[in-house]
A and B are shown apart, each in its own frame.
Chain A
Amino acid sequence: MRELAIVNLTKRFGRVRALAGVSFKVRGGEYVAVTGPVGAGKTTLLKVIAGLLEPDSGDVLVDGQSVLGLAPEERNFSYMPSGQSLFPHMTVYDNVAYGPRARGLSEGEVAERVRRALELVGLWHRRSSLPHELSGGMRQRVALARALASGADLLLLDEPLSALDLLLNIELRHELRRLAKSLGLTVIHVTHNFEEAMAVADRILVLRSGVVQQYGTPEEVYMRPANLFVASFSGDLNVLEGSVVAARDGCLVVELNGLGELLVEGHGFQVGERVVVAYRPEALLLSREQLSGPNAFPGRVVELRFLGPLTTVELEVGGAAVVARLPSHEASAFRRSEPVYVHMPPGRALVYPYPRAGLAKALAV
């Protein structure tokens, strides 16, 4: 498969619009994560691609050919639903061998694939166990091995790591990506967890209420979120409100409520327009003395939380609660309750029009 194209898919369940014109392309060998809050349409999208749901309109093309007329088993995709999906009465080996056998491969070829897949997930030594004899994490790895051994062109994984203990989840994310890459597989991986999406994916598709919000590399989505929702969904965010008092040459001066004037980079805003200016915690800089230059605001350290490599500094700035995150060796210069200057670099500001539906609604997951 060279390319999978999703073209303007729509799907309704009664009055609920699960997919509202979703389009994107996946290159052969690419790892794409589909993420968004509960109810965004992620699983529906995966099921339509797998052939388990028929869309109301739109198309799914493999190398330019529609596969909508094909039954799920004719599409050469491997779909791994969320939750437990192993055959309970079959051994680990037979579970993983199911796909290749169904494809009519010789027992020799089947054995080779099963061994390779089980070794990759570290469970070859448990091949004779039954699913109920394994931990939840192990069962999930077997399900993954089964998807990998299927020999399909495209893996469709729905929350493949969600049943794992958080720590195992974090380690398996990277293994899963490397595995897919080393086998040259094309993957669409659904997760509600943006961090997991960043860890595994070449590109991330952010969905909300059946609408694509953004499609880009982890850097693009995190550093340049397309809208306030994506900005908030993709990581911690300080949200400040204000209005534009000057706009020139790609720069804006924003009068922030309660703080004063802020100089930021931004295009396409009018003087007088209400805006939201957002900063990632690690984009903020702190100093004990006032440094020259714009965008320095006096504040106070409310709390320091050591998180290992990074320390979170909770601040009070002009009556607003602001959170900064800095390398722990830099954070040791600051003390609780002490005054501090918070610098907001113009180039790191994320500026959006003030949402018509209100801030809470725009940020809600």
Chain B
Amino acid sequence: MNMPEVELSHVSKRYEDAVALDDVSLRVADGEYFCVIGPSGSGKSTLLKVVAGIVRQDEGHVYIGGELVDDLPVEERGVALMFQEIYLFPHMDVWENVTYSPSVRGAEPEVVRRIGLELTDALGLALDRRAMPGELSLGAQQRVALARALASGADLLLLDEPLGSLDPRSAVELRRELRRLAKGLRLTAIHVTHSQEEAMAVADRIAVMRRGRVVQVGTPEELYFRPASPFVARFIGGECNFLEGTVVGEEGGLLVVDVGGLAVKCAARGRVGRRVVVAVRPEFVELSRVSSPGSWRGKVLDRSFMGSYVRYSVRLECGVELVAKSPPTEAFEVGGEIYLRVRWDRAIAFEYPKEGLSRAVAYE
């Protein structure tokens, strides 16, 4: 039987002036690499601390391996912790740092040696065993910290912004290693990050948090193609266009929405006559020098070459501004006239949020 390795059941946590977790329920499967993302203050770090036993929830329960752990201190929960700050003993070399935990717990010297060898090998530290932490790059130091955390024999890895202090290149390398290691050692991992890109790169599933609540859980594909709200649509992918419209009909399971005088078909929930907001990702806005049926005329306001894509901001004749991302093989001049087509089959309509669009998608 595949027991849920970690389960949170109706967990709430209040700090003096703020709700950090508001009735959160989650199940993370055995061996799963699970990410928790959200803006600053969304409660994601508190969630991790509750699982670790660093913070005690006000309400609800936490189970690890099917066992209620509410009353277990952090040392007894069998978790390996890793944070943005790198915690190493500066006066001990890599080997001593990694083998510290089994040594002080009185493991046989042969066992200590085996654990040390296995982990330094697995984390690419074989050549650095006698190096002092200060001689290593930040990326290597963070790998030592991870090896040390794992040496305790934990099979649940809890990571709070583990790549936050690294340069972008080291961060990309280490995130690949983190996933490979977790899968190779059959660990369950819960990884908290504010970077949706990092989460997409490592996770089997992702929980998106906002204002202390989990607003959606899904695979990277599910969150990207079927976001549950305008907020998730904006958060996953980094940038999103929102167009306002009205539902005018229904056809073949799709809604017909009037957007700026254009009748478009898109996947949505909603009824005829209702006001909707249509989320269109910049990569589903196509630019062309020639007009075609259903295209809109506009003007290129700005262009940024971003390596694997080019980002354009375009103003339509009606005054609406859209962002488009195109392959770098095409180039459109700033100030030039352009025709823009939206891949409506990729667009998603949402009921117009009662609180207003800008509040509904705010990063809070």
Contact = CB atoms under 8 A, between A and B. Distances in A.
Contacts of A327: 327
A194 B301 contact: no
Given A199-B311, A305-B200, A217 B305 contact: yes
A178 B301 contact: yes
A309 B176 contact: no
Given A174-B304, A222-B307, A308-B236, A365 B169 contact: yes
A307 B200 contact: yes
Interface in A300-345: 303, 305-310, 312, 314, 325, 327
A285 interface: no
Given A167-B235, A195-B168, A218 B176 contact: no
A235 B169 CA distance: 8
Interface string A222-261: 1000000000111110000000000000000000000000
A219 interface: yes
Contact of A219 (B167, B305, B363): B305
A165 interface: yes
A50 to B, nearest CB: 26
Contact of A218 (B200, B281, B305, B363): B305
Interface in B224-255: 224, 235-239
Interface in A150-184: 165-168, 170-171, 174, 177-178, 181
A198 B236 CA distance: 21
Interface residues of A, number: 44
Contacts of A282: 307-308
Nearest to B236: A308
B293 to A, nearest CB: 23
B220 A306 contact: yes
Contacts of A194: 168
Nearest to A307: B200
A310 B169 contact: no
Contacts of A192: 167
Listed residue (B196, B220, B308, B327) with the most chain A CB atoms within 10 angstroms of its CB:
B308
B224 to A, nearest CB: 5
Contacts of B220: 305-308
Contacts of B202: 305
A193 interface: yes
Nearest to B325: A309
A354 B255 CA distance: 59
Interface string A20-52: 000000000000000001100000000000000
A306 B224 contact: yes
B194 A308 contact: no
Contacts of A232: 169
Contact of B195 (A166, A308, A314): A166
Interface of A: 37-38, 165-168, 170-171, 174, 177-178, 181, 192-195, 198-200, 217-219, 222, 232-236, 280-282, 303, 305-310, 312, 314, 325, 327, 364-365
16 contacts: A165-B363, A166-B194, A166-B195, A167-B363, A178-B313, A200-B304, A217-B305, A218-B306, A219-B305, A232-B169, A235-B307, A303-B180, A305-B220, A306-B220, A307-B197, A309-B325
Given A174-B302, A305-B202, A308-B283, 20 more contacts: A165-B40, A166-B194, A167-B235, A174-B304, A174-B313, A177-B302, A177-B304, A178-B302, A193-B168, A199-B306, A217-B305, A218-B304, A218-B306, A219-B305, A222-B305, A303-B180, A308-B200, A308-B224, A312-B201, A365-B167
